[in-house]
Structure 1
């Protein structure tokens, strides 16, 4: 997630980015997308906005090594780690975000929360996609919808691709058509003032091909299965949060 965010910020060309990691392989992987790499936490901590992009179980150790001032902003993208947990371990203003891998291409969906989300964080998020400001209590479900969501969408794209292959399309052609269809449909949702049911109806001509396929979906439990996947991811996020609230 962190490397995807770095790549997206690089693509925007609007930020000076320093990457800090103790793993030289991790730094090498992002070297082409940052202005500077370092293993010195103190050097990285000089930034106006410091992003902590690590696994939840080492957030505490990283925060212990970061000395930040109230004039700085610390952004955490660790799943399940509350803003209260982070704020108790830093003097900086704290914002918590849950981005997703599409930050790499500037098409990220992100949720952000914090007592006072600064404009510089909003600008950063705008440069890599779309975001919604939510309450801390909503971060578990946001993590499931937009953080885990890309994997669910990849699964559905794969299913459509395989159906296309079974029908005679070449694999590359089937993947292109399926993926671009999802991309185009998503962009239509974001740009349209119509609700989703109306958009479905707009594609479903009477006695046409789409209505036949939709009848299969309406008669299935596909919507329930997708909701179950989201709920499972939400529950895991809540479990992670509980582990930190107990510390």
Structure 2
């Protein structure tokens, strides 16, 4: 199986590293981009290739450039270049309909992975184009299982998914940073404060996942009535924490609409 990446930014790089960690041989991965593809190839041992060669030699092609570059990139390639090719799009704001109109001869999958793919921890949303075969669907599922897991969603849910799962790593990092700063304010050195913050997030997430708990189950287990944790929860609620998060998600979803 040969993989080709048109684009070599942060997301594409994370997926490439994830594939290699999952056992894909660097020789089976090709990359092309105007700026960072050669650097990524040098770091990972994958192959830099010109666009036509990459498309011709790859069994699965990933579009990982800026959405507004789609027309420009396909315009200077031969009309039959993508004939019967399996294409996975990482172009966040480009709809399945737009992709199919731009690449009518290809089998199209729209997807929204995130940078946790580097550690095989990306949760990716996918939606298959109408012409994709069952064989190609399985290849796509195998691809995303190598970098984490996936969920099939209707396209109407992609904006919310992107705001939570795609932008979420930054929001989680912001919360981790806030915990770190709170620890520093109490006199703990920055390095130890960061370790405390990150290990607390890691352990809490593992607790929820391993025991299949609802978040409120863990809240109740830790926040005994009248205890210190309960006071902290009350403080969060007074500051409208849930709505702060919700407003951030809405701001992310509504980006560019004002």
Query: TM-score, structure 2 length as denominator?
Result: 0.84
Q: Tell me which residue corresponds to 1:242.
A: none
Q: What number of residue pairs does the alignment pair up?
A: 236
Secondary structure of the structure 2 residue equivalent to 1:182:
helix
> Which of residues 32, 37, 59 in structure 2 aligns to 1:20?
32
Q: Which residue of 1 aligns with 2:142?
A: 123
Name the SS for the 2:17 alignment partner. helix
Q: Which runs of 5+ in 2 are unaligned?
A: 1-10
In structure 1, the partner of 2:212 is: 193
TM-fit CA distance, 1:157: 0.7
**What does residue range 53-202 of structure 1 map to in structure 2 within 5 Å?**
53-64=64-75, 65=77, 67-70=81-84, 72-90=85-103, 91-115=105-129, 116=132, 118-202=137-221
> Which structure is richer in relative contact order (CA contacts within 8 A, separation 6 or more)?
1
- Secondary structure of the 2:254 match is helix
* Secondary structure, counterpart of 1:109 in structure 2: strand
Whole-Å separation in 2 of the counterparts to 1:122 and 1:190: 22
Q: CA deviation at 1:203?
A: 1.7
| Deviation for aligned residue 1:37 | 1.2
Partners of 1:35 and 1:4 in 2: CA distance: 13
Change in CA separation of 1:177 and 1:205 when aligned onto 2, cut-off 3 Å: same
| CA deviation after TM superposition for structure 1 residue 84, in Å | 1.1
Q: Are residues 34 and 209 of structure 1, via their aligned partners in 2, closer, same or farther at CA, if it must alter by over 3 Å?
A: farther
Task: Give unpaired runs (5+ residues) of structure 1.
Answer: 240-247
CA shift in 2, pair 1:103/1:222, >3 Å: same
1:47 maps to 2:58: yes
Partner of 1:243: none
Distance of 1:130 and 1:162 partners within structure 2: 32
How far 1:94 sits from its partner (Å)? 0.6
Alignment of 1:28-47 (within 5 A): 28-38=39-49, 40-45=50-55, 46-47=57-58
Seen in structure 2, the aligned counterparts of structure 1 residues 164 and 30 have a Cα distance that, compared at 3 Å, is farther
**Which consecutive aligned stretches of 4+ in structure 1 deviate over 3 angstroms post-superposition?**
none
Distance 2:119 2:128 in 1: 25
State the SS of the aligned residue for 1:88: helix
